[in-house]
Amino acid sequence: MVSHRRCTQSGFTRGVRVTVVSAAAATAAATLTGAPASADPKETRESAKAAVDRLYEEAERATERFNAAGERVKLLRGEADRAQDATARGQERVNEMRNALGAMAGAQYRTGSIDPSVALLLSAAPDTYLEQAAALDRAGARQAMTLDKLRHAQRKLAQSRAETTRALTDLERNRTTVTRHKRAVEAKLREARRLLDSLPPEDRASFDRASRSGRDGLPDLSGVAPGSARAMSAVAAVHQALGKPYVWGANGPSGFDCSGLMQWAYAQAGVSLPRTSQAQRYAGSMVPLSQAQPGDLVVYRADASHVGMYVGNDQVIHAPYPGAAVRYDPVGMMPVSSVTRI
């Protein structure tokens, strides 16, 4: 009887666990497939918008990591090419020295490799022979020393080339990983867009038109002037980009990501900026937001994963996220990390 009661208790416990797991699975499925019929429509719309904003942040972070990996790959490719060229030149010098030494060895063989003391005794002009022998000894020593240096340099170059190749392989693998992550985020964005498309047309239009802070319409920038000539050129360029699409990893002129837009705009002013928003943050001197001038770079979030250009009257121009065009938004659309004056 005791044994029977234990089995009954164990079976009851398993049954409870199965019921709990099944309930959790059902809840998760409901969350993934859509909101319950009793959900507040306004809450559903707000949840959808929050999810899309979250996905946009993930996309921007992935893009900046992708850009950084691409820049590092380009750098190491150049280093690898230079190392390989230097190794090839060193090998040519070594080959030339080997040929010279081979010729010398052949000459010695043809003369029978006579012992120097015997050659001196048999020589008709001992003084001349000694001078020639000393010169040959010095030449041989110089050649041996040069060959040793070249071999040492060749070993160093081969090591450098191997290290650079390994680093390049690692970075290529890293870039592949970032690309794979980017594709995953793009898939999430497509899902988010489908979710938005399921909302009423007025909600979709509101989301597509408004910024993260909810501003609508064009800002008043009358009377605003940049603080320097190059800033003026960059601001003029960034205005030309208004309406261009956000494109992954692009830096113009037909599409941009956030840091690509800043790089392109300042390139029109003759200024070379780094490729990523994290690096652009340190491309000039930092100033307080209260002292921002047109042309300053406004960097967002603690990880500096987004950047825009301040254009005056508390407005920035930036490439917001996939699916949105380059546009104006309030400078306070999201947490400001720093302001950099180029």
Q: Give the residue numbers marked as catalytic.
A: 258, 306, 318
- Report the Cα 288 to chain-centroid distance in Å: 28
Beta carbons of 318 and 308 less than 8 angstroms apart: yes
Tokens representing 306 are 């987004």
Closest CA to 72 of 275, 307, 324, 335: 275
Task: Say what the alpha-carbon torsion angle 44, 45, 50, 52 is, to the nearest 10 degrees.
Answer: 110
Cα torsion 330, 332, 337, 340: sign: positive
- Indicate the burial class of 236 (C-beta count within 10 angstroms; 0-12, 13-18, 19 or more): middle
Phi, psi (rounded to 5 degrees) for 31: -65, -40
DSSP single-letter state for residue 306: E
Handedness of CA 119, 125, 131, 136 (dihedral sign): negative
Question: CB count, 10 Å around CB of 26?
Answer: 10
